[in-house]
Structures are given as structure tokens and as C-alpha cells.
Amino acid sequence: MIDAYLEIMHGYLAGQADERATADLLERAGFAPTPTATTFGVYRELVTRQWRAVLDHFFRAARTFALANAQPGEATWEELTLAFHRDHPPTQGNPNAFCLPFGAYLEERGCAAPMVELVDFAITRYRAMHAAHGPTVVVEGDVWPRSYAFDVVSFSRAAEAGEDRCVLAANPTTVLIGRSRRTGTLRVIRASLGALVALSEADGGGHASTPAAELPAGLTRALVEQERAVLTAEGLLP
Amino acid sequence: MRTVRGVGVGFRREIAEGLLTTSRPVDWVEIISENFIGQEGRPRELLRRCADRFAIVPHGVTLSPATAPDAGYLAGLSELAARVEAPFVSDHICFSRTGGQEWFDLLPLPFCAAAASRVAENARTAQAALGRPLLLENITTYAVMPGSTWDETTFLQRIIEESGAGLLLDVTNLYVNSVNLAFDPHARMEELLAVLGPSVRQLHLSGPTHDGQRLIDSHASAVPSIVMELYERVLRACGPVPTLVEWDARIPAVDTVLDEVDRARRVWERFA
């Protein structure tokens, strides 16, 4: 009997039936109305508020950008998140797991690069903070190189500090994102070519030294070693 | 197993560092289970530091004992409870999942035999899987749901009796319900203690906020004085039950949160 109750309430919470219709369905299933002074209509509002709060908090910078740059004819933040919730309803107790497919969802929908990059930056930082550190560094396992066309790092920092008037500048940047092996804190550092080579050489526990002749133009072995030392000091390399 | 005694506080990210480094007394902490189950990286590191300092109780929000048990969740919770040597775990008398979908909220059941039996059955399953006691908490309800043929006290009593679980009595929830559903909280508390007093294993205190239409169980303010009066009444009836202060929204500086803990402890110590 209680399964019927849960099924009917599912339809109500999912927006498939309004409160009146839900009450009728419940009564027909044997759940008679009660003489309560208040109705249960508040619950759809509460669950909507909850999942919206999860997304708004996780993607605070993307939301700030979307609200400030809404264009006629484009989906608003509210519409995007509503569609996402409909297409990817949460199935795990940890609310953050609900947020993780949002980046791929925006890409599938062909959303503009700034939004996609801001969302990717939020997801990558989350992954970095929740990754286990093994004895060796693994690219895309505990350090994530990212090339962004916009300065999502500065924008996210400002938006998450509560600035509503921040501007997302077009400024191609390559960063390395990871959690310091020394301090446990998030590290987001701008990556030079030398740093990328040093990371690539260390990936998976490698100790390879790219022959000088094969290094990209303008890069020397000494520069790579210098960058390796910086990444080690930042805690991104063991 | 570690012992939980005195007045603890909810271990939340915003005040985690403050709690881990404070010199003020914190008797124990409660963690939100879902934030740590199967987690690596920073959550695991925080948990290790937390366990080094405090006794920990995992408090879940997605057991959803009215719906079919989730074996994966129970396995993860069991591992977490073992890792922190939890004396017990807790969750809520509600549903939070339907049709495989999570609602991120504690949703009310009708106060009836069918719902009580379902919750009790799943609570027994959970306790068997966890290998340690489960406490079940009364939730806030903003409406008495269709199909309710009992009052809430009878509903809680039946679940606790049938499941063998302990009661995590949220004093604030009882008060919030009394405001929204217009009943006398003192009389309801007397009624509840008369039948469930011996089953009360833990208490929750928090501060609600008013949204203009109703009192919301927001955990976003100091504990109201009427809740402290009810708390004192519970301790008088049940003795020094472990108590936890929850502050989950608009979280102030750690010292402000600990002021609330101290305030509760001053009451608790009178019955210790």
C-alpha cells in the first residue's frame, strides 16, 4: 500500500500532477484527506528549492555569468537547470554527484564557450579536491591540465567572493588544477610549456627526460627541470 | 566503538578547520554520512583528522526507510561507520527517494500502520547490514499527509517498537511542527516522553527561521528559548542523553556555533 503512496507522490514531486489531482489519486488509493490546516503543496516548492540550491552553489560562477549575460532567445540559467534536472534526475545521495554531468550536458546542447568553461572549471576543481593521491601523479587522475579561452579562474574567484559585476575576459590560459600533496589545498597554477612537458614526463610515474632535440622550440632541459621543481613545490608532483 | 557523551556539534565544511583547531570543548561531532561515503581526497583527509580528535556519529539524509533499501548505500555507510568506530548511526523517518530519484529533502509519510511497518522493516534491514544500532529521527512536517490515521506520537512509537531502533529526538522539529500545525509543544512533548522516553538515545537542537508563511527547519539560527525549555524537560525525563547542536545554513564563526554548544552543555550538565 505504501508503494502506491510513494508512486503518487513521485508524480507530484516530479511535476506530473498538481496538488489537487495528487490528493484525488491518494484518496482513490486509500489515503484519505486529513483535516490539516495546511496542505502538502509546499513540498514541490521545497524539493525544487533544494536541487536548485545544489546546482547554484556548485556552479556559483557560471550562474553569476548566466544571470549577468542573459541573451534574448537563449535559455536562461533557470531554464537550463530545469531541463538538466528533468533529463538527469539525481540518483545518488551525495548532491555533488548530481552536478557532475552538467558540463557534458551543456556541451551537448551547444552552449556558449564561457558557460561551458566556467562549468568545467567548477567540476574539475571538485574532482581535484576529491581525488586520491597515489604514489605517482596521473594526468586527469589527480592533476588536470586545462586550456580555457576565457579567464575563468579570475572570474570564478571574484564571483565566488560575491562580486556581481565581475567581467569574464577573453584571455586564453592554460592551467594545472590539482590538490597539493603537501598541504591538501586546491592549487590552480598557470602552466607554461615547460610545466606541461614536466607533467607529461612524470605522468604515471615516468622518469623520462625528453631529449633536448625533441623539446618544443624555445624550451631547454634546464627550463623543464625548473618547472618540475615548481610543480613539486606546489605539491602537484610527488 | 567510541563513546558519545555530552554536547556535540555538526561537523560542517565551513567550520571544519575551526573545530579541528579550537581549544574550546567539543564533546563529539556528527557528520553527514553522504558527504563522506566513498569519498577520497579532502573529505577523507578531513575525516581522518576529525576522527583523531573526536568521537564521530554518521548522520544520514538518504536512507529513506520508506523505500526499498539501497544495498550499495548501506555497504558504504557500514564502511564509513566502521572507519570512524561509530557507536551508532542515524537517519530520518521519512522518504527522500522515489522511483530511483533523490529529492534532497526529508519528505513526510502518512501516520499509518502501513508506513510504520515499512519503515520498521527497512530499519531492521539497515541495522543488520550495519552491524550497529540505528537511531531514527522525527522530522518536520508542514502538513499531516493524506492517509494519516494516527497521531505522530503513535506513529513514532510503533516504528521504534517494531524496528528496535532508538529514537533521535529532534526537539526543534517538534517545536517547528507545533507552530506550523498549531498544537501545544509542551503537551506533545509530555505525551511523547510518556511512551518513548526510554527509547530516546540522542537529541538534536537547532534554530529555525520563518519564511513569512511557515517556520522552516533551516538550522540557520541560534536555538530558540522555547526549544531550550523543551530540551530541559527531555533531560529531566530521560537523563543526560547525548545532544547535538546543528547549524547548517548561514553558518557563523565557529565561536558563535560553540557558544550555542556551551549554552546547551550548561543545561545538560545539570542532569549529568
Percentage of residues in chain A having pLDDT higher than 70: 99
CB-based contact (8 Å) between A134 and chain B? Answer: no
Q: In A, which residues are within 8 Å of B44 by CB distance?
A: 132
Q: What angle do CA B69, B102, A6 make, to 5 degrees?
A: 65
Contact flag B41-A1 (C-beta cutoff 8 Å): no
Residue B2 has pLDDT above 90, yes or no: no
* pLDDT, average across residues B114-122: 98
Indicate the average pLDDT of chain B. Answer: 96
Tell me how close the Cα of A111 comes to any Cα of chain B, in angstroms. 26
Q: How confident is the model at residue A37 (pLDDT cuts 50, 70, 90)?
A: low
Q: Choose among A26, A93, A179: nearest Cβ to B73.
A: A93
CB-based contact (8 Å) between A71 and chain B? Answer: no
- Give the integer Cα–Cα distance in Å for A76 and A81: 9
CB-CB neighbours of A57 under 10 Å: 14
Residues ≥6 apart with Cβ < 8 Å to A8: A17, A22, A25, A26, A29, A31
Q: In B, which residues are within 8 Å of A95 by CB distance?
A: 34, 104
Contact flag B181-A38 (C-beta cutoff 8 Å): yes
CB-based contact (8 Å) between A28 and chain B? Answer: no
CB-based contact (8 Å) between A105 and chain B? Answer: no
Percentage of residues in chain B having pLDDT higher than 90: 97
Of all residues in chain A, the one with the smallest CA distance to B43 is A130
Contact flag A34-B61 (C-beta cutoff 8 Å): no
Residue B105 has pLDDT above 90, yes or no: yes
CB-based contact (8 Å) between A115 and chain B? Answer: no
* pLDDT, average across residues B233-239: 98
**Segment (H or E) for A23:** helix A19-28
Which of B89, A157, A122 is closest to A130 using CA atoms?
A122
Measure Cα distances from A62 to A117, A160, B78, B88, B206 in Å.
Answer: 9, 10, 36, 40, 32
Q: What is the pTM assigned to this prediction?
A: 0.93
Q: In A, which residues are within 8 Å of B101 by CB distance?
A: 10, 14, 89-91
Residue A4 has pLDDT above 80, yes or no: yes
- Give the integer Cα–Cα distance in Å for B51 and A115: 39
Interface test with A, best of B14, B105, B176 (most A CBs within 10 A): B105
Scanning A176-195 for CB atoms below 8 A from B yields 179, 184
Contact flag B104-A130 (C-beta cutoff 8 Å): no
**Range name among A54-68, A213-227, B21-35, B223-237 with the lowest pLDDT average:** A213-227
CB-based contact (8 Å) between A93 and chain B? Answer: yes
- How many whole angstroms from its chain centre is CA A141? 16
The DSSP bridge partners found for residue B209 are B216
CB-based contact (8 Å) between A235 and chain B? Answer: no
Q: Which string of b and e fits B160-191 if b means at least 16 CB within 10 Å?
A: bebbebbbbbbbbbbbbbbebbeeebeebbeb
Of all residues in chain A, the one with the smallest CA distance to B44 is A130
Give tens-digit pLDDT for B173-218.
999 999 999 999 999 999 999 999 999 999 999 999 998 889 999 9
Contact flag A94-B37 (C-beta cutoff 8 Å): yes
- Give the integer Cα–Cα distance in Å for A119 and A171: 17
- Give the integer Cα–Cα distance in Å for B25 and B4: 14
CB-based contact (8 Å) between A161 and chain B? Answer: no
Phi and psi of A166, rounded to 5°?
Answer: -75, 155
Tell me how close the Cα of B61 comes to any Cα of chain A, in angstroms. 8
Contact flag B102-A92 (C-beta cutoff 8 Å): yes
Concatenating the DSSP letter of every residue in A61-121 gives HHHHHHHHT--TTSPPHHHHHHHHHHHS---SSSHHHHHTTHHHHHHHTT--HHHHHHHHH
Q: Choose among B43, B103, B147: nearest Cβ to A32.
A: B147
Contact flag A54-B104 (C-beta cutoff 8 Å): yes
**Coil, helix or strand at residue B201:** strand
Tell me how close the Cα of B254 comes to any Cα of chain A, in angstroms. 20
Q: Choose among A10, A95, A179: nearest Cβ to B99.
A: A10
* pLDDT, average across residues B45-74: 96
Q: Choose among A38, A47, A129: nearest Cβ to B180.
A: A38
Q: In A, which residues are within 8 Å of B148 by CB distance?
A: 34
Of all residues in chain B, the one with the smallest CA distance to A34 is B146
ipTM above 0.90, yes or no: yes
Concatenating the DSSP letter of every residue in B121-163 gives HHHHHHHHHHTS-EEEE----SSPPTT--S-HHHHHHHHHHHH
Of all residues in chain A, the one with the smallest CA distance to B181 is A37
CA torsion through residues A87, A90, A92, A95, sign: positive
Query: In this structure, what C-alpha cell is assigned to residue B58?
Result: 554518521
* pLDDT, average across residues B93-120: 97
- Residue that is written with C-alpha cell 579567464 in the block: A151
Give tens-digit pLDDT for B136-175.
999 999 999 999 999 999 999 999 999 999 999 999 999 9
Residue A212 has pLDDT above 80, yes or no: no
